[in-house]
């Protein structure tokens, strides 16, 4: 039995908040004003629009300061940020990387770019993040230590890293995950793509593992159009990430010499200019998103996902929990039919043909949640809103 009365109240609430008289209310549109335009114009007039420019450094410093990280390294997008993070912690071809199936495809794609393979671990109902108990059970049952490395008994392949995601901005129980990883000599890399502004036990996401990675895609809390950022407290990993992302060029006033086979992954200055302006607004964005999330949670007849104990979520995307897959699909049709963009979670990675043969644990929570969650419009209100739908 579908609760059309509660749904109608919800959509009226969304229409009133966003005040959009025509077009589609998007899931999460970017919010720009004169400040972004001024810095982009300044970048254009400076002629330093590519990967060399003052705004790249300023943006890195702003993210490092906000998160409390010692280092931040800006890159072209979050996917390549994950790739680079795995590279600097030592991922090699034929390795295995522990991760979750309930994630965006960028997570396993970054693993496959290394000619390694993901191993899918189940998630938790409450946090949507990788389940420490499922992780521990897999490692205890299927791995052993050989010469200081975690080795999968059945295949003989090394498990060199674990890459959980802070799903929708809800922090995973990352301290417990870190403890398990340390017990088994597995490096922790945090996919923090969606969680800028989220804290767990007072520490920003991305700060628990060796490296954390944010995304600044057009639909994130702040955006640079495209872009990503690695954060770390490790001096050597930060230096390696920056060096590899800039074609491993040896610093010199005019010579072009390179000491490794590397990549051109640095964020362009024109994108970083947007990031500098957006970081100045991040506290107000987070405050508005929290206010909006609480208003959703107070509506009758709905079950909304909330931040768990010891955590502070950025509420990147608000999540409605339906009673069944049929109710989810009915609500998606109902809401999108009224020009309000809603969407389900991603198809779990183990259900995609490209990843169906990967090693995995039982994934009951992953499949249960994927069948029931709907994301609702969650962007901040801007003075002028676009009339089209998704922004990435």
**Cα(201)–Cα(61) distance, rounded to whole angstroms?**
23
Q: Is residue 389 part of a domain?
A: no
Q: Give the residue from 277, 297, 318 where a domain finishes.
A: 277
Q: Does residue 77 fall inside a structural domain? A: yes
Clarify whether residues 139 and 237 are in a common domain. yes
Domain shared by 200 and 155, yes or no: yes
User: Is 391 inside a domain boundary?
Assistant: no
Q: Does residue 392 register a pLDDT over 50? A: no
131 within a domain of the structure (yes/no): yes
Q: Among 277, 294, 312, where does a domain finish?
A: 277
Q: Is 385 inside any structural domain?
A: no
The 10s digit of each residue's pLDDT in 74-101 is 999 999 999 999 999 999 999 999 999 9
Residue 231 β-bridge partners? 72, 212
Dump pLDDT digits (tens) for 317-349. 999 999 999 999 999 999 999 999 999 999 999
The answer on 256 and 132 residing in a single domain is yes
CATH of the domain at 357: 3.90.1150.10
- Asked whether residue 326 falls in the same domain as residue 359, the answer is yes
What is the chain's mean pLDDT, rounded?
Answer: 95
Look up the domain containing 310 and give its range: 4-31+281-376
* E-strand stretches of 11-85: 71-75
Residue 390 lies in a domain: no
Rounded CA-CA distance 42/323 in Å is 51
Domain's final residue, options 277, 305, 322:
277
Q: Reading across the β-sheet that carries 159-163, which strands appear in turn?
A: 71-75, 228-232, 211-215, 187-191, 159-163, 96-100, 117-121
Instruction: Tell me what the mean pLDDT of segment 240-260 comes to.
Output: 92
* Angstrom distance (rounded) from CA 261 to CA 353: 32
Residues 2 and 335 sit within 8 Å (Cβ to Cβ): no
Domain count, the chain: 2
CA angle (110 as vertex; 162, 157 as ends), nearest 5: 50
Residue 385 pLDDT exceeds 50: no
Cβ within 8 Å of residue 291, ≥6 positions away: none
Query: What is the model's pLDDT at position 388?
Result: 44
Structure pTM? Answer: 0.95
Q: Is the pLDDT of residue 12 over 80?
A: yes
């Amino acid at each position: 039995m579908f609760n059309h009365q509660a749904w109608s109240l919800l959509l009226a609430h969304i229409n009133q908040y966003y005040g959009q008289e025509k077009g589609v209310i998007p899931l999460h549109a970017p919010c720009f004003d004169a400040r972004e335009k001024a810095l982009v114009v300044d970048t254009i007039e400076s002629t330093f629009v590519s990967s060399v420019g003052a705004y790249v450094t300023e943006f890195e410093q702003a993210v490092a300061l906000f998160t409390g990280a010692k280092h931040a390294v800006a890159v072209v997008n979050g996917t390549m940020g994950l790739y680079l993070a795995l590279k600097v912690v030592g991922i090699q071809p034929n390795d295995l990387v522990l991760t979750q199936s309930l994630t965006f495809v960028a997570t396993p794609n970054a693993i496959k770019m290394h000619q390694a393979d993901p191993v899918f671990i189940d998630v938790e109902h409450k946090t949507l993040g990788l389940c420490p108990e499922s992780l521990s059970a897999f490692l205890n049952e299927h791995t052993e230590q050989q010469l200081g490395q975690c080795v999968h008994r059945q295949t003989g392949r090394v498990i060199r890293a674990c890459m959980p995601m802070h799903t929708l901005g809800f922090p995973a129980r990352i301290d417990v995950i870190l403890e398990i990883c340390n017990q088994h000599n597995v490096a922790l890399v945090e996919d923090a793509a969606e969680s800028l502004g989220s804290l767990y036990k007072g520490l920003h996401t991305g700060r628990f593992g060796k490296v954390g990675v944010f995304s600044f895609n057009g639909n994130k809390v702040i955006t640079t159009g495209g872009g990503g950022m690695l954060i770390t407290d490790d001096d050597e990993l930060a230096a390696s990430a920056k060096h590899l992302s800039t074609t491993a060029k040896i610093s010199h006033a005019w010579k072009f010499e390179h000491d490794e086979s590397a990549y051109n992954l640095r964020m362009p200055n024109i994108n970083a200019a947007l990031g500098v302006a957006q970081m100045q607004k991040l506290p107000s964005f987070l405050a508005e998103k929290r206010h909006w999330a609480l208003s959703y949670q107070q509506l009758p007849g709905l079950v909304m996902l909330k931040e768990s104990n010891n955590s502070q979520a950025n509420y990147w995307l608000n999540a409605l929990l339906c009673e069944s897959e049929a109710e989810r699909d009915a609500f998606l049709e109902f809401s999108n039919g009224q020009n309000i963009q809603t969407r389900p979670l991603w198809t779990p990675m183990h259900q995609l043909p490209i990843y169906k043969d990967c090693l995995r644990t039982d994934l009951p929570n992953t499949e249960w949640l994927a069948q029931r969650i709907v994301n609702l419009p969650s962007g901040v209100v801007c003075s002028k809103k676009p009339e089209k739908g998704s922004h990435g």
